[in-house]
Amino acid sequence: MKKQLLGLAALLAASVFSASVAGAQEREVHVYNWSDYIDETILTDFTKETGIKVVYDVFDSNEVVETKLLAGGSGYDVVVPTGPFLARQIQAGVFQKLDKSKLPNLVNMWPQVSDRLAKYDPGNQYAVNYMWGTTGIGINVDKVKKALGDNVPLDSWDVLFKPENAKKLKSCGINILDASDETFAIAMNYIGKNPDSKDTKDLEAGGKVYQAIRPYAKTFNSSAYINDLANGDICITIGWSGDIVQAKTRAEKANNGVNIDFIIPKEGTYMWFDNLAIPADAKNVAEAHEFINYLMKPEVIAKASNYVQYANGNLASQKFVDKEVLGNPNIYPPEDVVKRLFTISPYGPKEQRVLNRVWTQIKTGK
Amino acid sequence: MAASSDTAPKTNAKTTGDDGGHSAGLSRWLVVAIPYLWLAIFFVAPFLIIFKISLSDTAIAIPPYTPVFEGFGAIGDFVSQLDFENYVFLTDDPLYIEAYISSLKIALVSTVLLLIVGYPMALAMARASSTIRPTLVMLVILPFWTSFLIRVYAWIGILKPDGLLTLLLHAIGLMGPDDQVQIFRTDTAVYIGMVYSYLPFMVLPLYSALEKMDHSLIEAANDLGCPPWKAFWKITFPLSLPGVIAGSMICFIPITGEFVIPDLLGGADTLMIGKTLWTEFFGNRDWPLASAVAVVLLVLLVVPIMVFQNQQKKVA
A357 and A214 part of one domain: yes
In this complex, is the C-beta atom of B161 within 8 Å of any C-beta atom belonging to chain A?
yes
Residues 6+ apart with CB under 8 A from A262: A136, A137, A138, A239, A241, A244, A245, A248, A330
B117 and B258 part of one domain: yes
Is A107 within a domain? yes
Is A5 within a domain? no
pLDDT of B12 reads 44
Say yes or no for a CB contact (<8 Å) between B285 and A91: no
Mean pLDDT of chain B: 86
pLDDT of A20 reads 47
B215 and B106 part of one domain: yes
For residue B155, the distance in angstroms to the closest alpha carbon of chain A comes to 16
pLDDT of B73 reads 73
Q: Which residues of chain A have a Cβ shorter than 8 Å from any chain B Cβ? A: 61, 63-64, 66-67, 69-72, 88, 91-94, 180, 217, 219-220, 231, 233, 349, 352-353, 356-357, 360-361, 363-366
B46 and B167 part of one domain: no
pLDDT of B22 reads 65
ipTM over 0.85: no
Domain boundary, last residue among B45, B64, B85 = B85
A42 and A69 part of one domain: yes
Residue of chain A whose Cα is closest to the Cα of B161: A233
pTM for this structure?
0.80
Domain boundary, last residue among B59, B85, B111 = B85
pLDDT of A118 reads 94
CA B286 remoteness from chain centre: 25
Residue of chain A whose Cα is closest to the Cα of B267: A219
Is A89 within a domain? yes
Domain count, chain B: 2
Q: Which of B18-22, B118-122, B307-311 shows the lowest per-residue confidence on average (mean pLDDT)?
A: B18-22
Q: Which of A93, A233, A364 sits opposite B161 (nearest CB)?
A: A233
In this complex, is the C-beta atom of B98 within 8 Å of any C-beta atom belonging to chain A?
yes
Q: Is the pLDDT of residue B294 over 70?
A: yes
Per the structure, the complete domain to which residue B62 belongs is given by 2-85
A163 and A259 part of one domain: yes
Residues 6+ apart with CB under 8 A from A90: A120, A121, A126
Residues of chain A with pLDDT below 50 are 1-23
Say yes or no for a CB contact (<8 Å) between B268 and A180: no
For residue A115, the distance in angstroms to the closest alpha carbon of chain B comes to 25
A94 and A40 part of one domain: yes
Mutation for testing the A interface, residue in B166, B187, B284, B286 having most A CBs under 10 Å: B284
Contact in structure between B63 and A70 (CB atoms under 8 Å): yes
Domain boundary, last residue among B63, B85, B107 = B85
A126 and A165 part of one domain: no
In this complex, is the C-beta atom of B62 within 8 Å of any C-beta atom belonging to chain A?
yes
Domain harbouring A160, CATH code: 3.40.190.10
Residue of chain A whose Cα is closest to the Cα of B279: A356
User: Half-sphere exposure (CA, 13 Å, Cβ side) for B127?
Assistant: 10
Contact in structure between A275 and A87 (CB atoms under 8 Å): no
Is A4 within a domain? no
For residue B59, the distance in angstroms to the closest alpha carbon of chain A comes to 8
Mutation for testing the B interface, residue in A214, A364, A366 having most B CBs under 10 Å: A364
A264 and A281 part of one domain: no
A365 CB neighbours in chain B (<8 A) are: 268-269
For residue A93, the distance in angstroms to the closest alpha carbon of chain B comes to 7
Per the structure, the complete domain to which residue A330 belongs is given by 27-133+272-335
Q: Which of A67, A88, A94 sits opposite B281 (nearest CB)?
A: A67
Say yes or no for a CB contact (<8 Å) between A70 and B62: yes
B208 and B164 part of one domain: yes
pLDDT band, very low/low/confident/very high, at B179 (cuts 50, 70, 90): confident
Domain count, chain A: 2
pLDDT of B72 reads 78
Alpha helices in chain B (DSSP H): 2-19, 22-39, 45-54, 75-80, 85-92, 94-127, 133-141, 148-159, 164-171, 187-212, 216-223, 228-231, 237-256, 260-265, 273-278, 287-315
- Average of per-residue pLDDT across B294-304: 87
Is A10 within a domain? no
A72 and A196 part of one domain: no
Say yes or no for a CB contact (<8 Å) between B279 and A360: yes
C-alpha B230/C-alpha B226 separation (Å) is 6
For residue A175, the cross-strand partners are A219, A237
Mutation for testing the B interface, residue in A360, A361, A366 having most B CBs under 10 Å: A360
Q: How many residues does chain A have?
A: 366
Q: Which of A362-366, B48-52, B85-89 shows the lowest per-residue confidence on average (mean pLDDT)?
A: A362-366
C-alpha B14/C-alpha B37 separation (Å) is 17
Residue of chain A whose Cα is closest to the Cα of B59: A349
Domain harbouring B252, CATH code: 1.10.3720.10
Residue among A212, A203, A275, A264 at smallest CA distance from A238: A264
A123 and A211 part of one domain: no
A213 and A353 part of one domain: yes
Say yes or no for a CB contact (<8 Å) between A71 and B63: yes
In this complex, is the C-beta atom of B157 within 8 Å of any C-beta atom belonging to chain A?
no
Is A148 within a domain? yes
**B192-207 pLDDT per residue, tens:** 999 999 999 999 999 9
Q: Is the pLDDT of residue B10 over 70?
A: no
pLDDT of A352 reads 85
B113 and B237 part of one domain: yes
C-alpha A224/C-alpha A218 separation (Å) is 12
- Average of per-residue pLDDT across B11-18: 44
* 3-state helix/strand/coil string of A175-220: EECCCHHHHHHHHHHHCCCCCCCCCHHHHHHHHHHHHHHHHHCCEE
Residue among A103, A106, A86, A102 at smallest CA distance from A94: A86
Contact in structure between A198 and A351 (CB atoms under 8 Å): yes
Contact in structure between A54 and A29 (CB atoms under 8 Å): yes
Q: How many residues does chain B have?
A: 316
B81 and B97 part of one domain: no
B208 and B308 part of one domain: yes
The helix/strand/coil state of A134 is strand
A231 CB neighbours in chain B (<8 A) are: 162
C-alpha B267/C-alpha A214 separation (Å) is 13
pLDDT band, very low/low/confident/very high, at B126 (cuts 50, 70, 90): very high
Is A14 within a domain? no
A127 and A265 part of one domain: no
Residue of chain A whose Cα is closest to the Cα of B141: A1
